């Protein structure tokens, strides 16, 4: 019996078809994945600008408010509750003028107690000084009595000496008279020496007492001066601002309840984004528009403390005879570097989506995604450090809908 033999040509044909199918599928997959993502856009949906070489000036623009060049805080030295108010916010005051009066019964009692104690100590020292004077007076009186006894002994000695020489009185009587004179002399000399030493000691004690009394008098003067701290006075002449005390409200010592603007010139104060902190320095120049005239301003102080993403700087006016109002606002253009001719592109919303790393470059009727490098910026331009050349046209409008697109096909 004959055996049926399968044709090898059918197997080969099947394998060939399978290989062709796999190859076709792979080709389609490759083309699908390698094909750039594109999107059709209309010309009125995008904004196209041209890269060009321009004189680039690194500057920033911000708002600044007018404040007096100098101001002094009105601080509370001795805490207490507001008893009286003598001045109004915004009024002009003179140095030393009473602004408000505080009251603190505990401090008042403490001052009285200290004052009484100091006066009592001073009285005790004065009594001690008086006692020393009385002792000196007593010693002086004793010396007068001793001097009198010595003079009597001397007169008696001189009188009896002649009588003894004429043998009128006996030798024993003469010796008694002569011995009495010697005794009175030594007694007088001893008392004089004692009084001299006592006076020297008393002078030292009195000097110490006087110094102590002088110190206490200064302490008493300071204490009485501190009692006047309940009366708040103007530390300088000027316009009183931020002064809003409330009757009956208690304020602690050291707190500021107002400010006096010393009207001797003005300055500009601005809160600037922290992005510019490393770019701003004292001495940089800027401009403001004052009644149609461009005035120069200069950075005089940079306060590097960042609060809420902003730091503060102060600027001075080139003119000192300006008549301004506190709180008035000016737009300031601050120059950060000298003008240089560089390649730039106009600013646009594309930067917020690309961070300056790429851009759509227009070529004919399409815009292709292209990597670039951005340097400095100002309110008008971005400096281009690489990826573009003068004359290149680029899309500068928003890329919010084109983040994953590589080619924009531009249609009418």
Quote the pLDDT of residue 78.
82
- Judge if 323 and 364 occupy the same domain: no
Whether 115 and 208 map to the same domain: the answer is: yes
What is the distance, to the nearest Å, from the Cα of residue 398 to the centroid of all Cα atoms in its chain?
A: 43
Would you give per-residue pLDDT tens digits along the chain (412 residues)? 444 444 445 555 666 666 666 665 555 544 444 456 888 888 888 899 999 998 888 888 899 998 888 888 888 888 888 888 888 888 889 988 988 888 877 777 777 788 888 888 888 888 888 888 888 788 788 778 888 888 888 888 888 877 777 777 778 888 888 888 888 888 888 888 888 887 888 888 888 888 888 888 888 887 777 777 788 888 888 888 888 888 988 888 888 888 888 777 888 999 999 988 888 999 999 999 888 888 899 999 999 999 999 999 999 888 877 777 777 899 999 988 778 899 999 998 999 889 889 999 998 889 999 999 998 888 888 999 999 999 999 999 999 888 888 998 888 7
| Shared domain check, 366 and 273 | no
Q: Residue 32's pLDDT is what?
A: 45
pTM for the model stands at 0.49
Question: Residue 334 burial (CB < 10 Å; 0-12/13-18/19+)?
Answer: buried
Residue 161 domain-assigned (yes or no):
yes
pLDDT for the residue numbered 217: 85
**Which pLDDT does position 371 carry in this prediction?**
93
- Do the domain assignments include residue 26? no
Give domain status of residue 257, yes or no.
no
The tally of domains found in the chain comes to 4
Range of the domain at 236: 70-104+230-251
What's the token pair of residue 162? 């002649």
Assess whether 320 and 348 both reside in one domain: no
CATH of the domain at 87: 2.40.50.100
Does residue 148 lie in a domain region?
Answer: yes
- Whether 2 is covered by a domain: the verdict is no
Say whether both 128 and 52 belong to one domain: no
Rounded to 10°, the helix 171-227/105-165 angle is 170
**Where a domain ends, among 335, 366, 390?**
335
SS3 readout for the chain:
CCCCCCCHHHHHHHHHHHHHHHHHHHHHHHHHHHCCCEEEEEHHHCCEEECEEEEECCEEEEEEEEEEEEEEEEECCCCEEEEEECCCCCCEECCCCEEEEEECHHHHHHHHHHHHHHHHHHHHHHHHHHHHHHHHHHHHHHHHHHHHHHHHHHHHHHHHHHHHHCCCCCHHHHHHHHHHHHHHHHHHHHHHHHHHHHHHHHHHHHHHHHHHHHHHHHHHHHHHHHHHHHEEECCCCEEEECCCCCCCCEECCCCEEEEEEEEEEEEEEEEEEHHHCCCCCCCCEEEEEECCEEEEEEEEEEEEEEECCEEEEEEEECCCCCCCCCCCEEEEEEECCCCEEEEEEECCCHHHHHCCCEEEEEECCEEEEEECEEEEECCCEEEEEECCCCCCEEECCCCCCCCCCCEEEEEC
Tell me, yes or no, whether 93 and 241 share the same domain. Answer: yes
- Which residues make Cβ contacts (< 8 Å) with residue 19, sequence separation at least 6? none
Do 100 and 115 lie in one domain? The reply is no
Q: Is residue 364 part of a domain?
A: yes
Domain boundary among 335, 366, 388: 335
pLDDT at 372: 93
Residue in 374, 356, 362 with CA at minimum distance from that of residue 407: 362
Write the CATH number for 361.
2.40.420.20
In a domain, 9, yes or no: no
Let me know whether 145 and 213 are in one domain. yes
pLDDT for 191 equals: 81
**11 in any annotated domain:** no
Q: Are residues 51 and 64 in the same domain?
A: no
Residues 179 and 321 placed together within one structural domain of the fold: no
Q: Clarify whether residues 187 and 283 are in a common domain.
A: no
Question: In CATH, what number is assigned to the domain containing residue 317?
Answer: 2.40.30.170
Same domain, 287 and 306: yes
């Amino acid at each position: 019996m004959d055996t049926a033999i399968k044709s090898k040509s059918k197997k080969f044909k099947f394998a060939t078809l399978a290989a062709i199918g796999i190859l076709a599928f792979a080709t389609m997959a490759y083309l699908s994945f390698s094909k750039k993502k594109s999107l059709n856009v209309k010309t009125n949906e995008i904004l196209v600008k041209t890269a060009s070489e321009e004189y680039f000036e690194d500057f920033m623009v911000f708002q600044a408010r007018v404040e007096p060049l100098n101001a002094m805080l009105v601080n509370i030295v001795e805490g207490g509750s507001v008893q009286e108010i003598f001045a109004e916010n915004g009024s002009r005051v003179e140095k030393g003028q009473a602004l408000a009066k505080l009251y603190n019964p505990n401090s008042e009692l403490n001052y009285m107690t200290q004052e009484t104690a100091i006066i009592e100590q001073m009285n005790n020292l004065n009594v001690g000084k008086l006692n020393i004077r009385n002792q000196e007076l007593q010693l002086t009186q004793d010396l007068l009595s001793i001097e009198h006894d010595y003079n009597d002994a001397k007169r008696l000695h001189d009188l009896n000496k002649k009588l003894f020489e004429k043998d009128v009185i006996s030798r024993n009587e003469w010796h008694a008279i002569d011995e009495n004179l010697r005794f009175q002399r030594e007694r007088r000399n001893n008392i004089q020496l004692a009084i001299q030493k006592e006076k020297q000691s008393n002078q030292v004690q009195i000097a110490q007492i006087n110094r102590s009394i002088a110190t206490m008098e200064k302490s008493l003067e300071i204490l009485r001066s501190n009692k006047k701290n309940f009366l708040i006075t103007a530390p300088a002449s000027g316009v009183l601002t931020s002064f809003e005390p409330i009757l009956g409200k208690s304020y602690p010592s050291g707190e500021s309840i107002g400010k006096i603007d010393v009207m001797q010139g003005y300055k500009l104060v601005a809160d600037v984004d922290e992005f510019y902190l490393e770019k701003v320095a004292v001495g940089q120049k800027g401009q403001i528009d004052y009644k149609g005239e461009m005035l120069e301003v200069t950075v005089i102080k940079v306060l590097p403390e960042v609060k809420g993403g902003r730091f503060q700087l102060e600027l001075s006016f080139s003119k000192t005879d300006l008549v301004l109002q506190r709180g008035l606002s000016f737009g300031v253009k601050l120059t950060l570097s000298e003008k240089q001719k560089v390649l730039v592109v106009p600013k646009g919303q594309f930067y917020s989506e690309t961070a300056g790393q790429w851009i759509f470059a227009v070529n004919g009727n399409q815009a292709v995604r292209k990597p670039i490098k951005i340097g400095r910026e100002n309110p008008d331009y971005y400096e281009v450090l690489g990826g573009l050349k003068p004359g290149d046209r680029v899309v500068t409008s928003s890329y919010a809908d084109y983040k994953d697109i590589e080619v924009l096909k531009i249609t009418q």
